[in-house]
Structure 1
């Protein structure tokens, strides 16, 4: 089946149910074996609980056909709050394969079959969308950061098609103000983009088959995506800044978004990410 507009094959035609089944038959048993191991090391409070999810996600990328390409330098400081755009549940695996960090995620994810359990075992911080919980949630995030934990924040509050970056919600950036010593907190903007399919630039028409947003249903999307091919995911780590880099949370959120947008636009167009984030932000102000 071909796309009427481009005349090229649709993703449905490219997707192989046999390939999707094969990948799942490898991934699911591996996951089910590793789950009780992670539960045990968490219960015993062993240090291995921090890097085991990292090991797990690296193997998952190989099993599921994800090639993760890292650009830029990952902050070595602790604590670091990584701030990124959000495209799909695949982002979790991609970030988990390159970072030893926990996610900040919406509360409903903890009730998802399998994925919710995996999120809990990665020490994910679950947040409610209702504003009456905002103060308590900020305190929980601050406590984790003050304890030296690295966290990953998707401040759009949802996922989108990967062509754009939605406005960043500034509320959670207040952790930079509430941290015991905001000058010790590092904030690193990060751009994620899905750029190639089997080594060929990913057409815009195929992006929705990797992006997961709107009212898409998880299981059909997952099966179709796993049958398409090997996708390249670019993760661009921009220059880190101290938590007190800007005076207000809104300015900090706007700064991070401008940097992330430039990285996403560059990756989607096949260009190199901007070399200097400071110049980039000044130019876009």
Structure 2
């Protein structure tokens, strides 16, 4: 009963914050004001607080631009976690735009929706992403192309780094920076999470959203570690598959270290 009351109170708080922030964000999107880039960070901080998600950050976001963050992906919660620590835009599947709640949130954050199955539109979409990166926006890529169970990193797809390649001609120094990021869910109600409890946060896609969200609210306390590794330099002549392999190796190493309670490599 106490957890239910707490959930209702905190969700009401989130609704109030949304009521005041939403009109400002809509205006920011309509007129492309800079506020539309950083306002979502404050909303997601409140959302994480309301959901009982404690975020610990290790390392820091690279300061050089253009910058792409490459992260593992196990849940819709990853979006809120990353957005609470950085002003970012996401590369998402087109289907996400039609999802209830999260589709709307993605649009409000000006996510880039990609039709991966349509080869003819891939070039234009990659160019749109490249232009936004060149304008100083930080773009987040989930190179697995899907969600995992949270206990491992799935094989990544080098083709998804095409936007980074497209941004090279627009980069002032001829270099695009790709930074590996590991998102590790490590604690639940003050105790180590372990493999058994990780389904509380992981969302492989075959579970409907309402019961998954309800389960998270019942828990009321989740800890997540966000690890930023050294960025990779992507420039003319660098093999995209080699870049993808190196980034994948670093994400996997950081993720494994945090899930096992070890020091970062």
Task: Indicate whether the TM-score tops 0.5.
Answer: yes
- Write the mapping of 1:211-230 to structure 2, written as runs, cut at 5 A: 211-230=202-221
| Stretch deviating more after TM superposition (179-188 or 55-64) | 179-188
- Mapped to 2, the partners of 1:159 and 1:33 lie a distance apart of 32
* Structure 2 contact 57–225 (Cα < 8 Å) conserved: yes
Q: Partner of 1:238 in structure 2?
A: 229
1:82 to 69, 87, 102: 69
- Mapped to 1, the partners of 2:20 and 2:89 lie a distance apart of 21
Shift of 1:177: 2.6
SS at match of 1:42: helix
Q: Partner of 1:281 in structure 2?
A: none
Ranges in structure 1 where 5+ consecutive residues have no aligned partner? 1-14, 275-285
1:171 paired with 2:159, answer yes
Shift of 1:26: 2.8
- Mapped to 2, the partners of 1:199 and 1:245 lie a distance apart of 47
Relative to 1, partners in 2 of residues 1:245 and 1:16: Cα closer, same or farther, differing over 3 Å?
A: farther
SS at match of 1:178: helix
1:35 to 5, 14, 22: 22
Q: Normalising by structure 2, what TM-score?
A: 0.92
Q: Partner of 2:176 in structure 1?
A: 185
Equivalent pairs, count:
261
Shift of 1:202: 0.6
* Structure 2 contact 56–225 (Cα < 8 Å) conserved: yes
1:104 to 58, 75, 91: 91
Shift of 1:203: 2.5
Q: Partner of 2:140 in structure 1?
A: 152
Relative to 1, partners in 2 of residues 1:245 and 1:69: Cα closer, same or farther, differing over 3 Å?
A: farther
Shift of 1:112: 1.7
Q: Partner of 2:122 in structure 1?
A: 134
Q: Partner of 2:247 in structure 1?
A: 256
SS at match of 1:227: helix
- Write the mapping of 1:12-23 to structure 2, written as runs, cut at 5 A: 16-23=3-10
- Mapped to 1, the partners of 2:157 and 2:137 lie a distance apart of 22
Q: Normalising by structure 1, what TM-score?
A: 0.85
Shift of 1:181: 5.1
Relative to 1, partners in 2 of residues 1:208 and 1:108: Cα closer, same or farther, differing over 3 Å?
A: same
1:206 to 197, 202, 208: 197
The superposition leaves residues 69-125 of structure 1 with CA deviations (integer Å, 9 ceiling, x where unpaired) of 000121112221000000111111110011111111111111122221211111110
RMSD: 2.0
* Structure 2 contact 131–170 (Cα < 8 Å) conserved: no
- Mapped to 1, the partners of 2:100 and 2:225 lie a distance apart of 28
SS at match of 2:225: strand
1:247 paired with 2:238, answer yes
Q: Partner of 1:10 in structure 2?
A: none
SS at match of 1:191: strand
* Structure 1 contact 67–233 (Cα < 8 Å) conserved: yes
| Stretch deviating more after TM superposition (216-225 or 169-178) | 169-178
Ranges in structure 2 where 5+ consecutive residues have no aligned partner? none
Shift of 1:57: 1.0
- Mapped to 2, the partners of 1:77 and 1:61 lie a distance apart of 28
